[in-house]
Structures are given as C-alpha cells and as structure tokens.
C-alpha cells in the first residue's frame, strides 16, 4: 500500500465529510500525504490544512476541474496549486457560476417525469450551494426511495439520455490546464478509465493536454478496476507522463475506495509525488 492519496472530496464539493473529518479519517488509516481535490473549488483547503497539521499528515493543495472536451466531460486534477492564484480562482469561479442554473434545469426535467422537489432536496445535501451537482441529487433520490444507492440513481436518472440529465458546458481543456500550471501546480488527467474512449481519441486528448502544459495521468484510481491499473501504467510510460494515485473517495458506504491509502504504483512509472516534494511512505 501507498500511504498516500492524491484525490478525494469533502463537503466543499460533493464529498460527505467536512475537510477536517476527511483528514482525520485518512490519518486514522495511516495516510501520510493527502491531496484534497474538490470539484471546481478550493474552499475546503484551509480547514484541511489546519486538521492535517495536528495529525502528522502532509496536505497537498488540490482541485479537480470539470472540462468539456469534444462534447465529453473530462476531469483534470491540479496538485500543488496556489489556491489564491488569480487566474485559477477566477477560472474556477466561472465554472461554479453555472452550477445552480444547471441544477434548476435538472430539477425541472425530473419534475417532468413526476419527481418533484429535487432542487430543494439536493440543496439539503449540499454544504456549499454554488457547488450543487449530480451527487447531491443522487443522495436525495436515494433518501426518498427512488433507487437503492447512488450508482443506481446515476444509471436511472443522471447520465446522458436519462430524465434528470442536463448537458453542460464546463471549462476548455487548455484553460483548465493553463490555470493549474499558472498557479504552480501539476495538471493530471483524472481517472482516464472512466472516459471509455478508444486509443486514438485518448492519444489526441493526451496530445492537447500536453500542449497546454499537462504532465501527469492517474494510473491508480478508485475509479479504475484492478486490471485497468497496468493498462494505464503502460500508457503513462509510453506517453512519458508522470503517474498519480488517488482514491477519489466521496463518502463512507458509497462504494469505491476509502480515503487515505492507495494500491501500489506499478514498476516503471515515474510517480507524480517525486515532483511534489513528498515521499510515498510505503
Ligand atoms: P457533476 O460535476 O455535478 O456533473 O457531478 C459529477 C460527479 O458525479 C462525479 O464527480 C462523481 O462524484 C459522480 N458520478 C458521476 N458518475 C457517477 C456514477 N456513474 N456513479 C456514481 N457517481 C457518479
Ligand atoms: Mn464527485
Ligand atoms: Mn472525477
Ligand atoms: Mn473526483
């Protein structure tokens, strides 16, 4: 196990634990280095940093930026960012600005299939109203008995072609990578296994990502199956990208990996943490 986790979420975005509880949970599991990477938002970092200092955890400032690339949603993680950097802060604000309106449209489209009150219901699960997103709707729909768990809600209601899905334009890939790099961070293609794109499209994505200043890709991810790990390790080596590792933890009991520890990085990959000034603490 690596005692390090470079991707997780708090109540500042769509995680269920406040930053201090998230850090405490990671520390209790033996984690030595944690990056908090909330979606489009850095508001949880100050609390996480205070908690980490008291628990012997090295906190890396992170973010996960929502991008629309060729009509697909792609996530780009930024590690080691300065959250105060003006270009990054302003860019993230533009992404957050679209979320409430999108949530209203989602609620309207769910109302069309007879499911009323989801805007208010989702907001009740959201610690940071400007960060309202699909996960908050999913938790509300589970709570009201529309599905047995969050995964099932996504399948039935929240993915393309389903009644609660509203297409949305997120940031441009080059802008997102540019903001992260300008803010002193390393840009990382998050959970590449989630995009279900072929080899050619993946190499085009990597080409544009690299041209914009991106240098890393997640190889070990809570969103990857065990068989995807060596596959993306090979891709990282072939493409000369640094390799990252993170749980993508959101909430206890919501599936995926718990926060704090990640599976070992395959041999031959250059770990992104070598550039972050931290040890993997194996
Ligand atoms: P949003 O940025 O509001 O579109 O929400 C995206 C978030 O929804 C992701 O970060 C995940 O936390 C969650 N998500 C997306 N797809 C799924 C899925 N199939 N099952 C469970 N959670 C998902
Ligand atoms: Mn999420
Ligand atoms: Mn993601
Ligand atoms: Mn994530």
Q: Could you read off the pLDDT of 101-121 as tens digits, one per residue? A: 999 999 999 999 999 999 999
Report yes or no: 188 and 272 within 8 Å, Cβ to Cβ.
yes
Report yes or no: 125 and 139 within 8 Å, Cβ to Cβ.
yes
Helices and strands in the chain: count of H runs, count of E runs? 10, 7
Report yes or no: 245 and 5 within 8 Å, Cβ to Cβ.
yes
Q: Looking at the CA of residue 135, tell me the nearest atom of ligand 1.
A: 8
Q: Is 191 in the pocket of ligand 1 (CB under 6 A)?
A: no
23-51 average pLDDT score? 98
Looking at residue 281, what is its pLDDT? 58
**Distance of CA 38 from the midpoint of ligand 4 (Å):** 7
Q: Which residue has the tokens 């729909």?
A: 141
Chain mean position to CA 47: 18
Q: Is 11 in the pocket of ligand 1 (CB under 6 A)?
A: no
**Distance of CA 179 from the midpoint of ligand 3 (Å):** 18
d(CA 56, CA 46): 16
Looking at residue 212, what is its pLDDT? 98
Q: Is 42 in the pocket of ligand 1 (CB under 6 A)?
A: no
**Distance of CA 96 from the midpoint of ligand 4 (Å):** 16
pLDDT in tens, 73-90: 999 999 999 999 999 999
Looking at residue 280, what is its pLDDT? 65
Looking at residue 277, what is its pLDDT? 85
The structure's pTM equals: 0.98
244-272 average pLDDT score? 96
Q: Is the pLDDT of residue 49 over 90?
A: yes
pLDDT in tens, 161-190: 999 999 999 999 999 999 999 999 999 999
Q: Is the pLDDT of residue 69 over 70?
A: yes
Q: Is 135 in the pocket of ligand 1 (CB under 6 A)?
A: yes
Confidence band for 259, pLDDT divided at 50, 70 and 90: very high
Higher pLDDT, 256 or 141: 141
């Amino acid at each position: 196990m690596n005692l390090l986790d470079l991707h997780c979420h708090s109540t500042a975005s769509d995680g269920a634990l406040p930053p201090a509880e998230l850090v405490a949970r990671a520390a209790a599991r033996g984690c030595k280095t944690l990056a908090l990477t909330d979606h489009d938002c850095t508001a949880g970092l100050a609390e996480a940093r205070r908690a980490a200092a008291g628990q012997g955890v090295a906190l890396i400032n992170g973010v996960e930026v929502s991008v629309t690339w060729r009509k697909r949603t792609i996530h780009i993680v930024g590690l080691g960012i300065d959250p105060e950097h003006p270009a990054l802060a302003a860019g993230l604000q533009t992404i957050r600005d679209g979320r409430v309106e999108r949530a209203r449209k989602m609620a309207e489209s769910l109302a069309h299939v007879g499911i009323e009150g989801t805007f208010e219901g989702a907001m009740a699960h959201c610690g940071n109203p400007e960060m309202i997103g699909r996960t908050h709707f999913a938790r509300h729909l589970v709570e009201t008995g529309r599905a047995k768990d969050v995964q099932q809600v996504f399948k039935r209601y929240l993915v393309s072609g389903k009644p609660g899905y509203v297409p949305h334009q997120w940031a441009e890939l080059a802008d997102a990578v540019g903001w992260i790099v300008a803010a002193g961070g390393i840009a990382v293609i998050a959970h590449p296994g989630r995009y279900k794109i072929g080899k050619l499209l993946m190499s085009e994505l990597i080409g544009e990502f690299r041209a914009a200043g991106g240098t890393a890709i997640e190889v070990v991810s809570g969103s990857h199956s065990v068989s995807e790990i060596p596959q993306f390790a090979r891709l990282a080596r072939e493409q000369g990208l640094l390799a990252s590792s993170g749980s993508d933890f959101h909430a206890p009991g919501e599936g995926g990996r718990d926060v704090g520890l990640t599976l070992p990085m395959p041999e031959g990959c250059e770990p992104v943490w070598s550039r972050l000034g931290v040890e993997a603490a194996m």
